[in-house]
Structures are given as structure tokens and as C-alpha cells.
Structure 1
Amino acid sequence: MAPMTTTRSSSSPAALPRIAVLATGGTIAGSAADASQTSGYQAGVVGVDRLLAAVPALSNVARVEAEQVASIDSKDLDVALWTTLAERIAAFAARDDIDGIVVTHGTDTLEETAYALHLTVKTSKPVVMTAAMRPSSALSADGPLNLLGAVTVAGSPAARGQGVLVAFNNRIHSARDVVKTSTYAVDAFHSPEIGALGWVQDGRVEFQREVVRPHTAATPFTSAAAWPLVDVVASYAGASRTAVDAFVAAGVRGIVAAGTGNGSIHASVQAALAEARARGVAVVRASRVGSGHVMRNGAAPDDALGFVTAGSLNPYKARVLLMLALAAGVHEPAALQQVFDTY
């Protein structure tokens, strides 16, 4: 596809897009006692009004309406917040005077929230997530520029119909592809397998490719109030079946295996998963590697065991999709595999 570009200059306020900013806390709203401190801060303590006030340039790119949805460290995210966010996004997207929505979020679980919203919100209006790796109190805090970039993208006509996007460190990523890849670097988010969708800088937005898998209004999924219980188990040298047995005893509806390599699973864990599947628990094989895809019947006899493969989804995004599929009434392995092959 040809690059899609929009450039915004100093327009009259009435001509600027109207963007809703929904804040949930995170490092972007974090604060520490010392400006040199980039760890050990308290996340989610700075309100959205202060976040916006720190970016005067926002007035050049959009008219902003803000709402504080939550004030948490995203490591403590509860899936109920996905439902709340989907509902608030839907409410703003339904308004004729809102052109796009930005969600500020912690980096730790941003990729999971982004994918959950990508599959459940029902709008073609841009929904753009952003975050920060340094608290707002830090020297060279990255949050203000990330927020400016996200609002700029949300106001761009080129972002319509692309599903949920993540704008971070000048790059624009699809929610399905993006993952956090660093514990400290401001360039912490990448799309390892196929790269970013485009970029944003100095008011200019450019997309180099489009999102091709179905999303948002093209999915059957909704952010249900009751999310099925699905957990993740890891495979590693010397792994035991303890975690699988504990999850089954706790009544999980599904288990995602974070396998080695091409989703390969230690024999003891695989045996436990096969027993879990025989008891009606959905089992999905993913990989802990970080890029690539898990091939069906590659590192395990999926057809014989009734397992599903996650393709290029990492274990945590595979968990999101499995929860939504189970909530939608999809249970049998063949039907679940079709879901994973599609979304």
C-alpha cells in the first residue's frame, strides 16, 4: 500500500479534532521524590489534568476532553478494567463530537489491554494507547512526548479503521503485534515479527502498512462482565505438572502453555495438559521465545491431544483471545483453532 500521511499545523481551535483522553495510571502518571530516580517510584498517582498540563503543545493538535478511569500500577490490573475501558471507549466513540480516543496505561500489561480492546471495542474511530518508561517526575520523562504523539495519531484520519493502536517513542504499532521488550529503555515497545505500522513525529503521521486481521467491529467478541478463568503455565528444564494440576483443581476453563522453542512442552507438563484437555479444559500452545509462530502438529501432536496452537501470539495475548473465545461459546479444539487462525 502507498504510505498514508497526515500533517497538522497550527489550525484554529474549531478545526482541530476532538480527542478523549482516558487515564488509568501507570508509570506515565508516576512520581518519585528525586528527579534522577527512574525506578522505585509510585505509579498512578498523578491525575490526568496534570498529565495534560505538562504538554502545552496538545492545544496545537487537538481539543482534549479527559476522564480519570483508574489510578493503578498496571501490574495490578484486573480484567474487570478491560470491561470498564471498553464501555467508556464505546461511550465516547458514540459521540459525534469525538474524533478519537487515547488511553494512558502502565507499560507492564499494556500489550494485553491493547489486544483485549482491539478485539472488543466496536468503532472505526482511532483508539490509541500510550504509556511511559520513566515517571512524570524524572529528568527527560518520556510520557509527555508519547502523549502528544498518541493524541496526534488519534486525530489523524489515516488511523481510522486500524483497530487499537499503540503510539510509543514515535512509532505506531498494532495492538495485536506489539510487545514490551525492555525493562528500562524508553524504546521499550516493538512488533518483533513484522514491525511497526508507521510513525508519528512533529505533527506528522505516516502509516506504511495496514492491519489485515479482523478487529473491533469485525469480531464477534464483547468485553463481558464475567471473564472465563484462564491461566498460563510455563515449560522449562525440569518442569513439573504441579501448576497444571493446581489450575485444573481451581476450575480453570483454559490453560495456555508458554512452551520452549516452537511451543514444545516438557513431557510431564504435556501429560498433565492432555489430562486437563480430557476433562474439558481448553489447552493452547504458545511460545516463550518472543518472536516467530507456533506450528500446529509441529512440536506436539495437537490433533491427537486436542490442543490449539497460538500462531504468532505470545502466551499472554493468547490468554486474552482464549478468554474471549470461551466467553463467546467456542469450546471445541477445531473451532478454537479457527479463532486463533483468524484473529
Structure 2
Amino acid sequence: MEKKKIYVLACGGTIAGKAASADDLTGYAAGQTSIDELLEAVPQLAEYADVQGEQFCNIDSSDMTEALWQSLASRVQEIADREDVDGIVITHGTDTMEETAYFLDLTVHTIKPVVLTGSMRPSTAISADGPLNLLEAVQAASWSELGKYGVVIVMNSTVHSARFVEKTDTTHADTFKGRQMGCLGYMQDGRPYLYQQPLRKHTWSSDLASPKDFPPVAIAYTYVGLTADDVCRLAQGKAGLVLAGLGHGKVPEPVWQALQSLMAQGLVVVRAARALGGMVTPVPAYDGTITADSLTPQKAKILLQLALAHTTDRDKIQAIFDTY
């Protein structure tokens, strides 16, 4: 059988990190290894696919920017549109991988597999997890049916949907979890075994696009002691504000009074939750806000920015949150 042609874009991260000693798992420098070195470290790739690599950037993913997102989405779209490419793998740092994956899930329009992967241990570590993660990401991207599932993350032999995946641990190799809806499936014997499919719009069914300019949106984390002045300062100059609210997306009453005034001036407010699971849905007490459903605050921010690039109508924005 003819091997699939897989294009690997390298963005740095821990998978490209190096430390002074093999037992140093936290004091390493990310983004030190080139795409050529990454591919050479996994000669087994050639058994499964015809792999081509490109160094897109080489950063610690905590330094990821919206401008880089724009460039990355454009580059991924260009590659996906090529007839000589069957799937795309992106190596990326884990700190912001879930956000990059979700942004691409909304803005890259393709039916071809797009897989993000990385590692929790640097390339110099004893039992580094990067090589196997990269191999399994390429194996997954070689399975054409995977494109129907949107952008995915493949790490620790597990396949995750970009919409639901979250980083849950600072150091453990099995950090990525779909805490609310579970994973899509697992990697076994060189291919993915998948058991569920996302129903929300993504990739090939998405009507959203990478904006020319990102509307400014902030996230307000709610806690005991948060004041109206705190929120007003954070909202200054912003088109939108996402609340990481208490419980079912609630805020202290003085904060809500201030938010109502800001909303009357045009600020779009999305209610999400700081809780580790559950949905935020409409309630009369917070009339005029957008509800984030099951999105985390950081993913709600991304969707709000893309929505605001199209419209400022609250009903239309809520419809987008209900669809994606």
C-alpha cells in the first residue's frame, strides 16, 4: 500500500527541549531542537509515511501569540489545500496546545487530518515521551477518516478532540484529558481506534475564519474579594469579556452591577465557569450575557474573538456559541 504523505510543522515546545542532565524534567529550555533533529530521532516514521518537515517557529508555547496563530492557520490551510499532502502534524508546546488546537479547529477548513502533539519531558530526558507521541501523531494523520473528527491532539496513545481537551497536570505524561466528554479514542497497532465523534461545527463545517485583527477580549477570574473596579479596569479598551464565574457562571452582585453598565456601553460579556466541569446556560438573573456552554474560559475567549470579528449582535454571537 502506498504510504500517505504527512507534513510536519514544528513549533518548538518541550518536545524540542533540552536539559543539562537526563534526570532534569523541569529545568530544561524549550524549543532547542530543530525539525530535522526531531524527525531523525524517530526513524520508524519512514515505515508508516512519507514525511516532510518544516520549522514554523521554535518557541516555548507560553510565548504563543495571536499573530503567530494567524500565520499558523494560514500556513496549515495552504498545506491542507495541496493535493500532494494527506495529513498534517504540528509539534507544539503543551502549555497552550489546547488553545492552538481549538483555534485551528475553528479556522482551518479541511477534511484532511490535522494532529497536534508534543511531550511533557524534554528530548534529553530518561524515558522521553516525545518520540512515541510524534510517531503516533503521524500514524493518526495517515488515517484519512480522522479528518471527519476535526483537529485532534494525540499524546500518550490517546486521541482528543480540540474542543474538549484540557491540560490537567503540570508534569505528568498523561496530562491531556477530555474531562467532560472523554477522549475520542486510542492509538493501538499503528492506527487510531475511535469511539465517538464531535457534533459541534469544526474545520470542514466551520463558517469562521482567522481574523485580520483579533478583537481585544480579556478573561476575568472570579473569586472572593473581586471588586467592580477590578473588572472595570480589566474591561477597559476591550470589545469583550469572558467571566470565569463562580458555580454556574455567577459573579458578586457589585460586579454584576458594573458589568450591566459596561454592557450598556457595548461590552459583550460571556459567562463561563471556573469549575472543572458542567455547562453554563442562560438564566434570567444574567440577562444580556452570552453563555459559554461547556467551553473553558480560555476557549470561550477564542470563540468570542472569532465571533466578534463577524458581528457584535448578541443573539448572533449566542448562536455561534450554541453551534461550535
TM-score category, normalised to shorter length: over 0.9
Amino acid at match of 1:342: T
**2 CA distance for matches of 1:53 and 1:286?**
43
Q: How many Å apart are 1:204 and its aligned residue?
A: 2.6
Which residue number corresponds to residue 266 of structure 1? 252
Which residue number corresponds to residue 317 of structure 1? 299
Secondary structure of the structure 2 residue equivalent to 1:49? helix
Q: How many Å apart are 1:170 and its aligned residue?
A: 0.6
Secondary structure of the structure 1 residue equivalent to 2:44? helix
Which residue number corresponds to residue 144 of structure 1? 131
Q: How many Å apart are 1:211 and its aligned residue?
A: 1.8
Unaligned ranges ≥5, structure 1: 1-10
From 95, 100, 108, the equivalent of 1:121 is 108
Q: How many Å apart are 1:194 and its aligned residue?
A: 1.1
Secondary structure of the structure 2 residue equivalent to 1:36? coil
Q: Does 1:67 align with 2:54?
A: yes
Which residue number corresponds to residue 308 of structure 1? 290
Secondary structure of the structure 1 residue equivalent to 2:220? strand
From 206, 215, 231, the equivalent of 1:228 is 215
**1 CA distance for matches of 2:262 and 2:54?**
43
Whether the aligned pair in 2 keeps the contact of 1:256 and 1:286 (CA below 8 Å) is yes
Which residue number corresponds to residue 317 of structure 2? 336
**1 CA distance for matches of 2:323 and 2:102?**
14
Q: How many Å apart are 1:270 and its aligned residue?
A: 2.0
Pairs within 5 Å for 1:193-342: 193-249=180-236, 251-297=237-283, 301-303=285-287, 306-328=288-310, 330-342=311-323
Whether the aligned pair in 1 keeps the contact of 2:14 and 2:60 (CA below 8 Å) is yes
Render the CA deviation track for 1:141-193: whole Å, top value 9, x for unaligned: 11111111111110002202221011011110110010001111100001111
Render the CA deviation track for 1:250-284: whole Å, top value 9, x for unaligned: x1100000012111112232222222211101100
**1 CA distance for matches of 2:254 and 2:7?**
50
**2 CA distance for matches of 1:243 and 1:332?**
26
Amino acid at match of 1:292: G
Q: Does 1:31 align with 2:21?
A: no
Q: How many Å apart are 1:247 and its aligned residue?
A: 2.8
Secondary structure of the structure 2 residue equivalent to 1:246? helix
Secondary structure of the structure 2 residue equivalent to 1:124? coil
**2 CA distance for matches of 1:332 and 1:215?**
22
Which residue number corresponds to residue 84 of structure 1? 71
Q: Does 1:58 align with 2:39?
A: no
Unaligned ranges ≥5, structure 2: none
Which residue number corresponds to residue 107 of structure 1? 94
TM-score of the two chains, using structure 2 as the length reference: 0.97
Whether the aligned pair in 1 keeps the contact of 2:87 and 2:144 (CA below 8 Å) is no
TM-score of the two chains, using structure 1 as the length reference: 0.92
Whether the aligned pair in 1 keeps the contact of 2:307 and 2:320 (CA below 8 Å) is yes
Q: How many Å apart are 1:81 and its aligned residue?
A: 1.2
**2 CA distance for matches of 1:147 and 1:103?**
9
- Count of residue pairs the alignment pairs up: 324
**2 CA distance for matches of 1:205 and 1:111?**
20
Whether the aligned pair in 1 keeps the contact of 2:222 and 2:243 (CA below 8 Å) is yes
Whether the aligned pair in 2 keeps the contact of 1:241 and 1:269 (CA below 8 Å) is yes
Whether the aligned pair in 2 keeps the contact of 1:31 and 1:41 (CA below 8 Å) is yes
Amino acid at match of 2:249: G
Secondary structure of the structure 1 residue equivalent to 2:149? coil
Render the CA deviation track for 1:105-126: whole Å, top value 9, x for unaligned: 1111111111110000011000
Whether the aligned pair in 2 keeps the contact of 1:23 and 1:103 (CA below 8 Å) is yes
**1 CA distance for matches of 2:262 and 2:188?**
49
Whether the aligned pair in 1 keeps the contact of 2:110 and 2:147 (CA below 8 Å) is no
Whether the aligned pair in 1 keeps the contact of 2:220 and 2:234 (CA below 8 Å) is no
**1 CA distance for matches of 2:255 and 2:125?**
44
